[in-house]
A and B are shown apart, each in its own frame.
Chain A
Amino acid sequence: MSAVLALLKRDLALLTPGAHGGGGRRGGTMLPLLFFLAVAMLYPFAVGPDAPLLARTGGGVIWVAALLAAILPLDRLLAPDVEQGFFDQWALRGISEELVVAVRMIAHWLSFGPPLMLATLPAAALLGIDGATLRIVELGLLAGTPGLAAIGIIIAALTVSLRSGAALSGLLVIPLAVPLLIFGAGSLSTGGEGGLALTAAISLALIAAAPFAGGAAIRAAREG
């Protein structure tokens, strides 16, 4: 149990924006957050000051921005720890890859999920989204971002030994995230709870599978 806490503490220090990493850091930056806000800011410039159009499409834009922002940290998520031998040392201590990946997934979600949900508030103001829609967007992100974190960690584990992993992982995440996007952003137009429930269900299934898929991928990479 103390090992899990030590892992979580290290992961959060590495990934969370603002956490003190002891001078100079490895991965955790504000970049996904700023990227997300930049998209929300640029969209009104691109489509013009048509308030009803912005309000109608704004929720979908927030979803796409969230998905793309979640891709940014993927190349630093697992690969450095594999290269530097951390996974080997954990394996020798009987700490399974599955456990490490599960803890890393939680830290990854904490590093971008809640910050994006907070950043959605100013983004909603920029896009002129009303309160009821904002509520559905926020609930949708709460249900969907854990699924995005799970997809992200699976892809990060699969591309761990590839040299051009960063570019590839972005391409691989997008098709896998389509179901989350359909139900998550889809719940905006129907205004119903059904879409949110389905988003949450997909997320749960992905979260359950991710540690095992990720762990197996890292072990396979070690044999190479």
Chain B
Amino acid sequence: MEECRLTGDDIACLRGERLLFRRLSLALSSGEALHLAGPNGIGKSSLIRILAGLRRPYAGVINRMGAIGLLDERPVLDEHLPLGKALDFWSRIDASAQSHWEQLGLEPLADVPVRYLSTGQRKRAALARLAGQGAPIWLLDEPLNGLDSDAVATCESMVAQHCASGGIAIIASHQPFAMPGLTKLMLGEYAA
């Protein structure tokens, strides 16, 4: 995987009238992973969107080298389409082959419309979409929500594999995330 880097310098986040966090700096390079932890409402999702470039930080600078892959609470798949076709759309956009189908147990679901899938199945489908994108920087917002214990292990090993091959991962989660070499950032320490 290509060389990648993600740095944030002195970031502050304003949500409405409220300053969520401030003076937050982070730097990740190829192969590193970071666990953003903290209670609900502390600004984990906002930070993920800021790092993705989808939200402007109230203060601070973000530097990215490498494409961003984002996994949030939405699977971003057409609800009325069978899962296979819905994922095919992203395969065409990303010009990639479908990957991790077997590992994520999606094969039996290929003909099931997305709207009939459970929360955990949607999350697994979203992981397949993310893996197919081939982006070096993964931003995962609550990736373990709704997953059963097997799927949690699969997700953890996918992220570990991604970092082992030179990718970056940032995991925002209030749940523990088991992975070698994971550093933890308590967002609460930067609360304003």
A residues with CB within 8 A of B: 2-3, 5-7, 10, 14, 21-26, 84-86, 88-95, 222-223
A88–B69 CA distance with the chains assembled, in angstroms:
10
Write the residues of chain B forming the contact surface with A, with a CB cutoff of 8 angstroms.
52-56, 67-70, 72, 74, 76, 78-82, 85, 89-90, 92-95, 113, 115, 133, 135
Minimum distance in angstroms from A28 CB to a CB of chain B: 11
Verify B80–A26 contact, CB threshold 8 A. Answer: yes
Whether the pair A223, B56 counts as a contact (CB closer than 8 A) is: yes
Taking CB atoms, residues of chain B closer than 8 Å to A94 are 67
Residue in B56, B70, B74, B92 whose beta carbon sits within 8 Å of that of A92 in the complex: B70
Q: Chain A at the B interface: mostly helix, strand, loop or mixed?
A: helix
Q: Choose among B55, B67, B85, B135 the residue that contacts A223 (Cβ–Cβ < 8 A).
A: B55
**Contact A3/B93 with A26-B78, A92-B70 known, Cβ cut-off 8 Å:** yes
Contact B80–A22 (Cβ < 8 Å): yes
Q: How far is the CA of A114 from the CA of B54 in the complex (A)?
A: 37
Among B68, B74, B78, which residue has the most Cβ atoms of chain A within 10 A? B78
In the complex the two chains form, what is the Cα distance from A95 to B93 in whole Å?
A: 10
Which residue of the partner chain B has the closest CB to A6? Answer: B92
A23 touches B80 (CB 8 A): yes
Can you show 10 pairs from A to B with CB atoms below 8 A apart?
A6-B93, A10-B78, A22-B113, A24-B113, A24-B115, A26-B78, A85-B72, A88-B54, A90-B93, A92-B54
Flag if B54 contacts A222 (CB, 8 Å): yes
Q: Given A22-B80, A26-B79, are A85 and B93 also a contact pair (CB < 8 Å)?
A: no
- Of all chain A residues, the one with the shortest Cβ separation from B72 is A85
Please give me the residue from chain A that is nearest to B137 by CB atom.
Answer: A92
Q: Which A residue sits closest to B68, measured CB to CB?
A: A92
| Residues in A neighbouring B54, C-beta threshold 8 A | 88, 91-92, 222
Residues of B within 8 A of A95 (CB): 93
A24 in contact with B92 given A88-B70, A89-B70 (CB within 8 Å): no
Closest-CB distance, A86 to chain B (whole angstroms): 6
Q: Is the CB of B89 within 8 A of A10?
A: yes
CB of A84 within 8 A of CB of B74, answer yes
| CB-based contact B89/A92 at 8 Å | no
Interface pair B92/A85, CB less than 8 Å apart = no
Task: Give the distance to chain B from A78, nearest Cβ to Cβ, in Å.
Answer: 15
User: Is the pair B93, A92 in contact by a Cβ cutoff of 8 Å?
Assistant: no
Residues of A within 8 A of B74 (CB): 84-85
Q: How far is the CA of A7 from the CA of B90 in the complex (A)?
A: 10
**Residues of chain B lying within 8 A (CB to CB) of residue A2:** 92-93, 95
* A10: B residues at CB distance < 8 A: 78, 89
CB pair B81 A21 closer than 8 Å: yes
CB pair A84 B76 closer than 8 Å? yes
Chain A residues within an 8 Å CB radius of B115: 24
Which of A6, A26, A92 is B69 in contact with, Cβ under 8 Å?
Answer: A92
Question: Contact: A25 with B72, CB < 8 Å?
Answer: no
Q: Take A84-B74, A92-B52 as given contacts and tell me if A23 and B113 are in contact as well, using a CB distance cutoff of 8 Å.
A: yes
Other than the given A24-B115, A88-B52, 19 more pairs (CB < 8 A) read: A2-B92, A2-B93, A2-B95, A5-B92, A14-B78, A22-B81, A23-B113, A25-B80, A85-B72, A86-B76, A88-B72, A88-B76, A91-B54, A92-B52, A92-B53, A92-B54, A92-B70, A222-B55, A223-B56
Q: How many angstroms between the C-alpha atoms of A21 and B68 in the bound complex?
A: 30
Per the bound structure, the CA–CA distance linking A50 and B25 in Å amounts to 77
* Residues of the A chain whose Cβ atoms lie less than 8 Å from the Cβ of B81: 21-22
